[in-house]
Amino acid sequence: MEKLTSEKLPRPAGPYSHVAVAGGLVFTAGFGPQDPETGTVPEGVEAQTEAVIRNVERALAQVGLDLSHVVKVTAHLADLADFGAYNAVYERLFPAPYPVRTTVGSALLGILVEIDVVAAIP
């Protein structure tokens, strides 16, 4: 098992790793839309969704993977009324065939979207 934290990713909000590798799978922490260099958060669900997915891409790149390796996505939205806007960005950025996905409403602190993924190592 391997656990990684990277300065190329947003600083963890607590004591946890960005990525864990175990049993041929890669698990990411939940990523918000914070810019890894500045910590700034873009406005609006579309911009935040894109920023979150770019952070997930950066996390996967730490272990040589990309979005095509993702098999499971768990997404949290501060407001499920934003599902359509979030889904449009998700569909544009994730390659088909799409991974399985669960999207739930959550009381997020100061952000609109958070995503964690499970990816398979080929």
- What are the residue boundaries of the structural domains of the chain, listed by start? 2-120
Could you say which of 3.40.1190.20, 3.40.50.720, 3.30.1330.40, 3.40.50.170 is the CATH number of the domain covering 2-120? 3.30.1330.40
pLDDT over 70, % of the chain: 100
User: Does residue 13 register a pLDDT over 90?
Assistant: no
Judged on CB neighbours under 10 Å (0-12, 13-18, 19+), 1 is exposed
- The pTM score is 0.96
Looking at every residue in the chain, the average pLDDT score rounds to 97
Helix extents (H) in 2-113? 45-61, 83-93
User: Does residue 71 register a pLDDT over 90?
Assistant: yes
The answer to whether the CB of 115 falls within 8 A of the CB of 30 is: yes
Q: Which residue's entry shows tokens 């391997």?
A: 2
Q: State residue 52 phi and psi, 5-degree precision.
A: -60, -50
